[in-house]
Chains A and B, each alone.
Chain A
Amino acid sequence: MDLPFALAFVLLLTSCYAIDEDFSEELLLRPLPDGNVLAHFHFASTLPPVDHYGVHHRLFPKAIFQLVRKFRIKEMELSFTQGRWNYQRWGVGDPIAQLAAKPVGVELTASLDVPEAEVDSTWGNLTHALSGLFCASINFLESPTTFLEPWFSKSSRTRYGALPREAVCTENLTPWLKLLPCRDKAGLTTLLDRPTIYSGMYHSQRLIITSGDFDRDEEGTTLEQTLTVVLRKPAVSEGLSSKLQDWTLSGLFGSKLEGKCPLATTSSVYLELEESLAKHLAGDLSKETRINFVDNRVFSLSSAPSRVLASLSGSLLLEYEAGTHSELDLGVTWRAPVDWSPARGRFYTSRYLAGSGNARGSIVISFRANDGPSGDCYSPGIEAVEYVDIMILQMIPWYVRLYGHTLQVSLDGRNVEFWSVVRLMRFTPAEDRKAPAAVEIALRVSIATQAVTLTIQYDKGFLHIDEHPPDANRGFDLPSAVITFPRCRVFKQFQSDDVGHSHILAVVQSQRPMQIYSEVSLMQLATPDFSMPYNVITLTCTVLALYFGSLLNALRRRIGEEERESKGT
């Protein structure tokens, strides 16, 4: 091999993966139209491939690395969520909302590089390891009634499970913070004041692992930890509009941002202004060459950004370097009442249970076209002009017995022939106490459709007395339906190509199909009287004892004789 070729080869190799570990911390703040503030923390650790870098690390958490090696995790996403993402007010079709919106409770998706026969057992062990790591009852996902193999996923070694009932609190956050090199001692994490983030309207903490180590595609391992909180608007003061309140970092989190984590290569804070808000600025600034971000007609900022990124669709990202400001107390003061709307998808989705009583009912998933300005997503292909594709994944516990023949689709209120709308469907019936039912449907409807409704009827099953959870009268949670619009790509393209090391920007720029989650529904099953077995025992015993006693007396006693005897003596 001659030298230039060898050099080129080496260059090629090194260009494929990073040569050193890397850690970055980023925070994205976004004022929401309803006056609340979205804060999205994004931490990322990357690790070069094991073959080149070895197994000893300086930044990457050992626990996660061991997890990846032991269970051969190719991809994993774990989320802990409290509260419900309000799609109408906080946005649907934008990348951050896409990342932030998760179903309430715990959701786990994992793709494992193990032989197909071992996937289920590895998944079980993984759930146990994760529940130990995060102090949560993720191990309930080991039971085959709680997870399934999604049909629409890329590989057959993927499993999906959700625990809608899991409560999320600080005991889950502390182990999550422990995975960061600076924990909550320095940098952006110092803002994470526990009472503040748990009193917010929405809280979702995630762990995303991708590892290319098992495919030999030279990608190494990436750990992304994100935390999204929607913070309540600050207490009402004498503001311009009753809706918008001025806010500062210290006002929201109780402390200013001081310095950065010394181990992070990137440490930045972004302030995102959505398209419809940025338009107000543009209108103001059409005469000027540059937008004055610090002080303009709509708002004033407490400090000037170091960089401004504008996306092609018109939204703005103001970037602040956390390290350069010795003390950063970013704040927005509103000057004029502005009204803007969040990014919206083509459809609003909701799921509800119809019917009453403890015997039967029906599940309804409905899509309602968005009547306002629709935040359009990028849709490749010509068909997308005429059609909308919708994919639904719904897992139903076994004690909800679905009737497949009752599955109906209606468009704009009229029932239509099922297969004229449904392109593909997989209906996996449940097995009692062994597997949940899974309904996976791919729909294609005309773009003019205003409402799509899917209905399926069910009978409620009976559970054994010991299968009821504590507080059985509360009801049972049905996991969210996962709804994907495969042709609708959610991403933002920035005018300047320079995204640097920023993981948030990389996520925002990557094309992903739009995915939303339905609400978690609560279903009432016939709750037994838990003292019943003992009542039955007592009653039966009493009846038998009475019967035995009278039989014995009938055999033994002679009334007349006893009377005679008592008279005789």
Chain B
Amino acid sequence: MAGSTRLAIALSALAYILAGLPFWWKLTEVYRVPLPYREVEGFVTKQSSSSAARVHCQLQIVFFSKEETPDRDAKWSDRLEVVLRATREWSSSGFCEIEVAVTLDAKGLCLHKRGGDRAKPLWECGRVLDSLHSQDSTSIDESLKNYIGEDRAGKYTILVLLDGELSQGGGAEAVVGKYRHAWVVFPPSLLGNDEQLTRIISETAGVLLAGGKPATAVAKTMPLAADGSAILSFSLLNADPENWIFNWDFDSVESQYLSPVVDALAPVARLSVESQVLYYTPAAARSQWNADIRSHVIESKDLSFFVNANEWHLDTSAAAAGRSKVLHFAIYVPPVEECPLRIKLSSGRITSSASIDGFTSPGWGGVVIWNPPGCLVADNSTLRQRLNVNDLKTTMEVVVAQLRTLFGLPPVPPRRKAPKLSILCNQRTGFAEWELDLLLRRRVIADVNSTASTLASLLKLVESLPKMVIQQEIGVQVTTSLEAAEKAMDAGNASYQVIGNFSATAKAWAEEAFFHPSIMSLLHFPKEHQFAMYTPFFVPVLLHTVISVVKETMRYARKSSRK
């Protein structure tokens, strides 16, 4: 029938267009490498559910006595069990997956208790310990280091010395050394008091494993760039060089004070040091003269305005390429009219009469106010001085304390009264070995967290922009990062160095993928543009086709009904 031919023509024209549509759609697509959506999602949930990546730690608590202990075996067995349980309860809030082993090493008695199945290394009983009497804490620390022997990241020892003569004043006393061990002097006469014993041991373990702070109280991020590096930029600021001009012997300062710190922190962060001397750098905050202490005093609430972004040109240029992190340490020499300059704390107390004050700003760095000695009595004639290593000793100590604060440690190791607990500091580097382990664990967790969030937001971004080109390279980077992060999380017993490398790799690649230049230069191809391109052709063509189909269908229907 003639009518059906025409309908067929109209329909085939429409069918042709409809069949061509998917092909045309395919042509408008851009290249997008398939990204591992499911794996990343799985990783993010896994990472957030276990609250923190688990790094392996071993803690052995050894009760050590040269003499025979008064209590019987059974009683000791109970006591070890109590200590084991107390420590394990506490350790759930720590940074690592902990394994505890408790040992009694007394004359003629050797008892072991283990928590967990994997706790392999056991204390070897019966080794001779030299007399610790008449030694100060630092030398005890050294002797015990030799005595304990094996020293590696993640293995910690608490030695409970059951020795009445060692304790001063007859009470229990704990000391955390600068390596990976602590010792508790516990007079045997107090052994009946199990509560006191468990309390002092778990406090000590808390310091040794987590710095004495719960994991939640610590800042989540480290002041480091994506590749785990940071630049320590030291600036000596001569606020007003009209009267006095100071410069410094920074080469010696670096070799004497900073290189040991940088070397010690090498497993945690790659730090580099640079310096400059700047002039005409007044502070932006005003101080007031306080006649009582004959000083200019600046309120702590004004400190946020102290750093003068207009005049302090602290920025580094060529070395700090890309997304590197710079920690500024500004040593500020006040002008003559404002010397000595001190800080009034928010509590109303004015800092000590020392010539040095300082404050830190998280993630930015620290400021040290260095008042030239005797500046009140000195005449105002021009003074030019080169500060040597000794002049800057205290300043550098403050700087190291500020560095500790920036990394999330207390500026100086705190002391506690009850139970009596003291922490030795490492005079040379400022960081004890166990603190470095702690920082490394924190960094691993921070790295894994940031990898998870970076990857998640990258994939979210990719999903939300369907017209963005995703290059092969990004796919590779995401996969590499994900693999490394998984390895860091499941590393288990691997050495800290390996875990640290994995987590750093994961973070670096995740950032690399996120900041890939091809993502930055998003292909500008908005929807309006597409409409503008295609409507001049498609609207008239489709209009014709659809109208013809409608008309022919109507005609065909009319004809067939007429028949």
Residues of A within 8 A of B (CB): 54-59, 61-63, 66-67, 69-71, 129, 132-133, 178, 181-183, 185-186, 262-263, 534, 537-538, 540-542, 544-546, 548-549, 552-553, 555-556
Q: Is B544 touching A263 in the complex (CB atoms < 8 A)?
A: no
Contacts of B10 in A (CB 8 A): 552, 556
A456 to B536, CA, bound (A): 48
Q: Is A57 touching B276 in the complex (CB atoms < 8 A)?
A: yes
- Closest A residue to B233 by beta carbon equals A62
Question: Would you mind naming 13 contact pairs between A and B with Cβ atoms under 8 Å apart?
Answer: A63-B317, A66-B316, A129-B318, A178-B313, A183-B279, A183-B280, A185-B279, A186-B242, A262-B382, A534-B532, A537-B536, A538-B536, A556-B6
A69 to B319, CA, bound (A): 9
A546 to B317, CA, bound (A): 62
Q: Is B548 touching A545 in the complex (CB atoms < 8 A)?
A: no
A537 to B315, CA, bound (A): 51
Contacts of B321 in A (CB 8 A): 129
User: What 11 additional pairs, Cβ within 8 angstroms, besides A66-B317, A183-B280, A542-B536?
Assistant: A66-B319, A132-B317, A181-B278, A186-B280, A262-B242, A541-B536, A548-B540, A549-B544, A552-B9, A552-B10, A553-B548
Residue interface mask B262-291, A partner, CB < 8 A = 1: 000000000000111111100000000000
Q: Is B9 touching A545 in the complex (CB atoms < 8 A)?
A: no
Q: Is B9 touching A556 in the complex (CB atoms < 8 A)?
A: yes
Residue interface mask B143-175, A partner, CB < 8 A = 1: 000000000000000000000000000000000
| Interface residues of A, dominant DSSP | helix
Q: Is A129 touching B317 in the complex (CB atoms < 8 A)?
A: yes
- Closest A residue to B274 by beta carbon equals A62
Partner of A549, one of B277, B280, B315, B541: B541
Q: Is B251 touching A54 in the complex (CB atoms < 8 A)?
A: yes
- B241 interface residue, CB < 8 Å from A? yes
A56 to B274, CA, bound (A): 7
Q: Is A552 touching B13 in the complex (CB atoms < 8 A)?
A: yes
Q: Is A58 touching B241 in the complex (CB atoms < 8 A)?
A: no
Residue interface mask B522-563, A partner, CB < 8 A = 1: 000000000011001101110011001000100000000000
Q: Is A545 touching B536 in the complex (CB atoms < 8 A)?
A: yes
Contacts of B221 in A (CB 8 A): none
Chain A min CB distance to B318 (Å): 4
Contacts of B537 in A (CB 8 A): 540-541, 544-545
Within 8 A of A (CB), among B388-424: none
Q: Is B245 touching A63 in the complex (CB atoms < 8 A)?
A: no
Chain A min CB distance to B123 (Å): 50
Number of interface residues of B (CB under 8 A): 38
Please list the 6 inter-chain residue pairs (A to B) with the smallest Cβ-Cβ separation, ordered nearest first.
Answer: A545-B540, A541-B536, A541-B537, A66-B318, A56-B250, A58-B247
Chain B min CB distance to A332 (Å): 31
Residue interface mask B315-356, A partner, CB < 8 A = 1: 111110100000000000000000000000000000000000
Residues of B within 8 A of A (CB): 6, 9-10, 13, 241-242, 245, 247-248, 250-251, 254, 274-280, 313, 315-319, 321, 382, 532-533, 536-537, 539-541, 544-545, 548, 552
Contacts of B248 in A (CB 8 A): 58
A496 to B293, CA, bound (A): 58
A133 to B320, CA, bound (A): 12
A114 to B254, CA, bound (A): 29
A69 to B10, CA, bound (A): 75
A406 to B274, CA, bound (A): 57
- A to B contact number (C-beta, < 8 Å): 102
Chain A min CB distance to B312 (Å): 11
Q: Is A263 touching B316 in the complex (CB atoms < 8 A)?
A: no
Contacts of B318 in A (CB 8 A): 63, 66-67, 69-71, 129, 133
Residue from A67, A178, A183 having most chain B Cβ neighbours under 10 A: A183
Contacts of A555 in B (CB 8 A): 6, 9
Contacts of A67 in B (CB 8 A): 317-318
A70 to B316, CA, bound (A): 13
A183 to B337, CA, bound (A): 22
Contacts of A54 in B (CB 8 A): 251
Q: A63-B317, A181-B279, A542-B540 are in contact. Are A552 and B548 (CB under 8 A)?
A: yes
- Closest B residue to A66 by beta carbon equals B318
Chain B min CB distance to A142 (Å): 14
A534 to B552, CA, bound (A): 35
Q: Is A56 touching B533 in the complex (CB atoms < 8 A)?
A: no
Q: Is A57 touching B6 in the complex (CB atoms < 8 A)?
A: no
Chain B min CB distance to A37 (Å): 28
Contacts of B13 in A (CB 8 A): 552
Q: Is A56 touching B251 in the complex (CB atoms < 8 A)?
A: yes
Contacts of B313 in A (CB 8 A): 178, 183
Q: A56-B251, A63-B317, A555-B9 are in contact. Are A263 and B241 (CB under 8 A)?
A: yes
Contacts of B242 in A (CB 8 A): 186, 262
Q: Is A62 touching B276 in the complex (CB atoms < 8 A)?
A: yes
Residue from A56, A61, A183, A541 having most chain B Cβ neighbours under 10 A: A56
A549 to B537, CA, bound (A): 11
Contacts of A541 in B (CB 8 A): 536-537, 540
Contacts of B544 in A (CB 8 A): 545, 548-549, 552-553
Q: Is B317 touching A57 in the complex (CB atoms < 8 A)?
A: no
A279 to B380, CA, bound (A): 48
Q: Is B541 touching A545 in the complex (CB atoms < 8 A)?
A: yes
Contacts of A59 in B (CB 8 A): 277
Chain B min CB distance to A350 (Å): 40
Contacts of B545 in A (CB 8 A): 552
A519 to B313, CA, bound (A): 38
A556 to B12, CA, bound (A): 12
A186 to B316, CA, bound (A): 23
- Closest A residue to B10 by beta carbon equals A556
Q: Is B275 touching A56 in the complex (CB atoms < 8 A)?
A: yes
Q: Is B533 touching A537 in the complex (CB atoms < 8 A)?
A: yes
Q: Is B536 touching A57 in the complex (CB atoms < 8 A)?
A: no
- Closest B residue to A546 by beta carbon equals B540
A57 to B251, CA, bound (A): 10
Contacts of B241 in A (CB 8 A): 182, 186, 262-263
Chain A min CB distance to B509 (Å): 23
Q: Is A263 touching B245 in the complex (CB atoms < 8 A)?
A: yes
Contacts of A263 in B (CB 8 A): 241, 245, 279
Q: Is A133 touching B317 in the complex (CB atoms < 8 A)?
A: yes
Contacts of B532 in A (CB 8 A): 534
Chain B min CB distance to A186 (Å): 7
A178 to B276, CA, bound (A): 13
Q: Is B280 touching A182 in the complex (CB atoms < 8 A)?
A: yes
Chain B min CB distance to A396 (Å): 30
Residue from B251, B318, B539 having most chain A Cβ neighbours under 10 A: B318
A334 to B317, CA, bound (A): 48
Chain B min CB distance to A567 (Å): 15
A67 to B536, CA, bound (A): 55
Chain A min CB distance to B396 (Å): 14
Residue from A62, A183, A537 having most chain B Cβ neighbours under 10 A: A62
Contacts of B541 in A (CB 8 A): 544-545, 548-549
Q: Is B316 touching A62 in the complex (CB atoms < 8 A)?
A: yes
Chain A min CB distance to B258 (Å): 11
- Closest B residue to A555 by beta carbon equals B9
A128 to B317, CA, bound (A): 11
A555 to B6, CA, bound (A): 8
Contacts of A553 in B (CB 8 A): 544, 548
A267 to B228, CA, bound (A): 45
A462 to B248, CA, bound (A): 60
Contacts of B319 in A (CB 8 A): 66, 70
Contacts of A129 in B (CB 8 A): 317-318, 321
A62 to B285, CA, bound (A): 26
- Closest A residue to B543 by beta carbon equals A549
Residue from A58, A185, A542, A546 having most chain B Cβ neighbours under 10 A: A58
Chain B min CB distance to A401 (Å): 31
A132 to B6, CA, bound (A): 69
Chain A min CB distance to B290 (Å): 29
Chain B min CB distance to A327 (Å): 16
Partner of A56, one of B254, B279, B536: B254
